[in-house]
């Protein structure tokens, strides 16, 4: 699903965010991108959904080379990717339903289709009864679930979550991760940037650890509690 | 998404955005409305003045005065010369007797004081030329004929309305140019006002623009509501300008009997083509302002 070849990203001031990163994430995998703050997790995600361009190397996402993808094609790449952020990025003046409807609307769905799809997506994340609420009327966990519903409304092939539980307490975090795992169970490739090692221990999966922009670990964690001690450090 | 769906979405988003930033939108609409009102006002006034000038031109008469001792043959020769151009509709000869009759009718008291004028007033024959309004002459053609007539020894004086009519036309042209220049200047200023308002709207919506881009909206979809905002503001400005001008026209026209100038400059309202043009001009200026304001990158953190 995702393949990176010798990816390097440097910023104009010369700061190296990623250095010679090569990795592969299979279709349908649950992958965790971990590492300390500033390790390059968010930068790698931005390169994958083409918010930024690599300075060097190639990134193939679902068969598309995003490093050479023309700007006009970027929207079509993003329609196959669901993205969730730590700060939810919900529009406060729009209802929950309207927040979830963006993708069907730009795809030209009728109002009824938009509503049906949004209600289904909200039901999938357990918020069927909150469609007319406004984001600020919801708890943090609920807001993140709305963001997840928005990301999953069109059943994307890839779901990217950048620190999705960073603003949530342990209980709410567990709920969100359960939803991510549920999406993976339905065939979506899920890539989660997190430094929450307990989550990784609990669910296992493909663990990619970045350190100062370099990929220092690329392992499959099969069972709960099997995260390497090195990663914990 | 079909084109109609897109247009509906753009316009509804534009209206929603204008409602949200109603203060700035109102300023933009008034700015464009004032500029269009000024331009349209001058078009209205000069259009009516122009029609009055045309009416004067239709009634334009040229009088060729002959010597007092001109013979019938001299008069006939002059008439033959004057009737040649196709744009001359009539050549009426007023004999000294007919001239005295006119004088008697026009100034009866003065005529009586002059002892019925039979011997005191010695009037020359006059050839009155009527121009065909459907086939008016070029200025050069008219001047050439007058020059040819003036060269005849029997002709004493040529009196025509061309000079003051020419001045009137020049005044109308200057007023029209002045008004259109003023309107155009204000329109440019209004366009920049709209550009600023659209930019402000885009800034207010930057979070939503981010989300739109993240979920895969094309730039057309992202910018469409902003373009529609400028277009709708310009459209409202045009309609407001016309409505205001129409109201002013109605009020002044209802009191036209009280003033001498109102019938001259407010006789008729703008034709539907001009009205349509003003609205289209407003919408175009608004759209142009919006395009200018987001020609690079609408505000947002996501590219």
Chain B residues whose C-beta sits inside 8 Å of any chain A C-beta: 1-2, 5, 9, 20, 207-208, 210-219, 221, 302-303
What pLDDT is attached to residue A232?
53
Of B1, B20, B302, the CB nearest to A106: B1
Q: What interface predicted TM-score (ipTM) does this complex get?
A: 0.85
CATH code assigned to B61-160: 3.30.70.3040
Q: How far is A231 from chain B (nearest CA, A)?
A: 31
Residue B43 has pLDDT above 90, yes or no: no
| A34 vs B189, more confident | A34
What DSSP letter does each residue of A42-110 carry, written as one string? Answer: HHHHHHHTTSS--SEEEEEETTEETTS--GGGHHHHHTTEEEEETT----TTS-HHHHH-HHHHHTT--
Asked whether residue B280 carries a pLDDT value surpassing 90, the answer given is yes
* Higher per-residue confidence, B5 vs B208: B208
Angle at CA A155, nearest 5°, toward A150 and A160?
Answer: 65
Domain boundaries, chain B: 3-55+166-293, 61-160
Q: Residues in chain B, how many? A: 303
Q: What does the pLDDT read at residue A227?
A: 47
Name residue, tokens 């981010």: B210
Residue pair A59/A48 in contact (Cβ under 8 Å)? The answer is: yes
Whole-number percent of chain A with pLDDT over 70:
95
Closest CA to B47 of B247, B189, B249: B249
* Top-confidence residue, B54 or A11: A11
Contact at CB, B221 and A106, closer than 8 angstroms = yes
CB contact burial A39-53 (16+ within 10 A = b; e otherwise) = bbbbbbbbbbbbbbe
Q: State the pLDDT at residue A100.
A: 93
pLDDT given at position A223: 52
CA-nearest residue to B207 within chain A is A91
On the question of pLDDT at B178 being above 60, the answer is yes
A2 closest CA partner among A220, A208, A143: A208
Confidence of residue B117 (pLDDT cuts 50, 70, 90): low
DSSP state of A80: T
CB contact under 8 A, A108 and B2: yes
Q: Give the separation between CA B258 and CA B265, rounded to whole angstroms.
A: 14
Q: What is the pLDDT of residue A60?
A: 92
Predicted pLDDT of residue B170: 84
Burial-class residue B170 by CB neighbours within 10 Å (0-12, 13-18, 19+).
Answer: exposed
Q: How confident is the model at residue B202 (pLDDT cuts 50, 70, 90)?
A: confident
* Closest C-alpha among B126, B131, B139, B127 to residue B86: B131
Per the document, the length of chain A is 233
Q: Are A228 and A206 in contact (CB under 8 A)?
A: no
Q: What number of other Cβ atoms are within 10 A of residue A89's Cβ? A: 19
Residue B276 token pair:
């349509």
Residue A176, pLDDT score: 86
The reply to whether residue B207 touches residue A76, judged by beta carbons under 8 angstroms, is no
Q: Is B263's pLDDT higher than 50?
A: yes
- The percent of chain B in helix, strand and coil, each rounded to the nearest 5, is 70, 10, 20
Q: In terms of DSSP bridges, do strands A189-193 and A158-162 run parallel, antiparallel, or are they unpaired?
A: parallel
In whole angstroms, give the CA distance from residue B130 to residue B109. Answer: 30
- The dihedrals phi and psi of B166, each to the nearest 5 degrees, come to -60, -40
User: Do the chains contact at B215 and A51, CB–CB below 8 Å?
Assistant: no
Nearest to A217 by CA among A55, A23, A87, A67: A23
As a whole number of angstroms, the distance between CA A181 and CA A224 comes to 14
- Fill in the DSSP letter of residue B260: S
A-B contacts (CB, under 8 Å):
49
Q: How far, in Å, CA of A178 to CA of A1, rounded?
A: 22
Distance, in Å, from the CA atom of A91 to the CA atom of B205, rounded to the nearest integer, reads 9
The packing angle between helices B3-20 and B219-254, to 10°, is: 70
Are the beta carbons of B212 and A78 separated by less than 8 Å? Answer: no
Is A28's pLDDT higher than 80? yes
Which of helix, strand or coil describes residue A129? helix
Tens digits of residue pLDDT in A1-26: 889 999 999 988 888 888 888 999 99
Number of helical (H) and strand (E) elements in chain A, helices listed first: 9, 10
Cβ proximity of B297 and B81 under 8 Å: no
Neighbour count for residue B89 (Cβ, 10 Å): 13
Name every residue in A having a CB less than 8 A away from some CB of B.
Answer: 49, 51, 72, 75-79, 83, 89, 91, 93-94, 102-103, 105-108, 150
- Across A59-63, A194-198, B176-180, B297-301, least confident range: B297-301
Confidence band for B120, pLDDT divided at 50, 70 and 90: low
Angle at the Cα of A220 (from A34 to A197), degrees rounded to 5?
35
**Measured CA distances, A18 to A43, A84, A167, A212 (Å):** 8, 21, 25, 7
Task: Quote the CA–CA distance of B295 and A137 in Å, as a whole number.
Answer: 37
Domains, chain A, in order of start with CATH, read 29-45+70-225 (3.40.50.300)
- Residues from chain B contacting residue A143 (CB–CB below 8 Å): none
Task: Indicate the DSSP class of residue B124.
Answer: P
What average pLDDT does the segment B232-243 reach?
94
Confidence of residue B297 (pLDDT cuts 50, 70, 90): low
Distance of CA B267 to the CA centre of its chain: 12
Report d(CA B118, CA B97) in Å as an integer.
9
């Amino acid at each position: 699903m995702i393949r990176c070849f010798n990816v390097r990203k440097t910023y104009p001031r010369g700061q190296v965010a990623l250095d010679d990163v090569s990795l592969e994430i299979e279709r349908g995998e649950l992958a965790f991108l971990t590492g300390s703050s500033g390790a390059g997790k968010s930068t790698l995600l931005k390169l994958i959904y083409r918010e930024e361009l690599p300075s060097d190397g190639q990134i193939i996402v679902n068969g598309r080379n995003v490093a050479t993808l023309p700007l006009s094609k970027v929207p079509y790449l993003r329609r196959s990717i669901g993205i969730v952020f730590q700060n939810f990025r919900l529009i406060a003046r729009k209802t929950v339903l309207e927040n979830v409807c963006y993708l069907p609307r730009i795809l030209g769905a009728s109002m009824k289709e938009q509503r049906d799809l949004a209600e289904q997506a909200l039901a999938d994340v357990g918020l069927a009864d909150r469609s007319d609420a406004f984001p600020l009327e919801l708890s943090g966990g609920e807001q993140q679930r709305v963001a997840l519903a928005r990301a999953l409304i069109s059943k994307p092939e890839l779901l990217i979550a950048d620190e999705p539980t960073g603003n949530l307490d342990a209980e709410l975090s567990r709920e969100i991760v359960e939803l991510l795992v549920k999406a993976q169970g339905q065939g979506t490739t899920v890539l989660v940037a997190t430094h929450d090692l307990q989550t990784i221990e609990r669910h296992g999966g493909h663990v990619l650890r970045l350190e100062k922009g370099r990929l220092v670990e690329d392992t499959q964690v099969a069972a709960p509690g099997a995260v390497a001690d090195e990663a914990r450090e | 998404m079909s084109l109609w769906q897109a247009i509906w979405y753009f316009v509804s988003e534009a209206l929603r955005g204008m409602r949200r930033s109603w203060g700035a939108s109102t300023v933009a609409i008034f700015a464009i409305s004032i500029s269009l009102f000024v331009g349209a006002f001058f078009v209205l006034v000069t259009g009516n003045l122009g029609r009055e000038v045309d009416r004067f031109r239709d009634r334009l008469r040229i009088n060729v005065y002959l010597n007092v001792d001109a013979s019938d043959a001299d008069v006939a020769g002059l008439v033959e010369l004057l009737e040649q151009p196709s744009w001359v509709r009539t050549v009426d000869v007023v004999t000294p007797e007919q001239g005295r009759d006119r004088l008697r009718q026009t100034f009866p008291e003065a005529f009586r004081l002059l002892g019925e004028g039979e011997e005191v007033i010695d009037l020359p024959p006059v050839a009155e030329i009527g121009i065909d309004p459907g086939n008016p002459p070029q200025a050069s053609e008219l001047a050439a004929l007058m020059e040819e007539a003036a060269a005849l020894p029997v002709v004493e004086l040529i009196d025509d309305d061309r000079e003051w009519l020419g001045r009137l036309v020049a005044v109308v042209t200057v007023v029209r140019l002045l008004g259109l220049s003023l309107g155009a200047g204000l329109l440019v200023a209004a366009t920049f006002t709209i550009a600023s308002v659209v930019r402000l709207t885009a800034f207010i919506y930057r979070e939503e623009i981010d989300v739109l881009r993240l979920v895969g909206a094309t730039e057309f979809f992202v910018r469409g509501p902003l373009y529609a905002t400028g277009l709708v503001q310009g459209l409202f400005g045009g309609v407001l300008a016309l409505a205001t001008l129409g109201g002013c026209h109605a009020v002044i026209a209802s009191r036209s009997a009280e003033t001498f100038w109102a019938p001259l400059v407010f006789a008729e309202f703008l034709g539907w083509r001009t009205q349509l043009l003003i609205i289209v001009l407003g919408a175009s200026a608004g759209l142009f302002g919006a395009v200018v304001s987001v020609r690079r990158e609408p505000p947002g953190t996501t590219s």
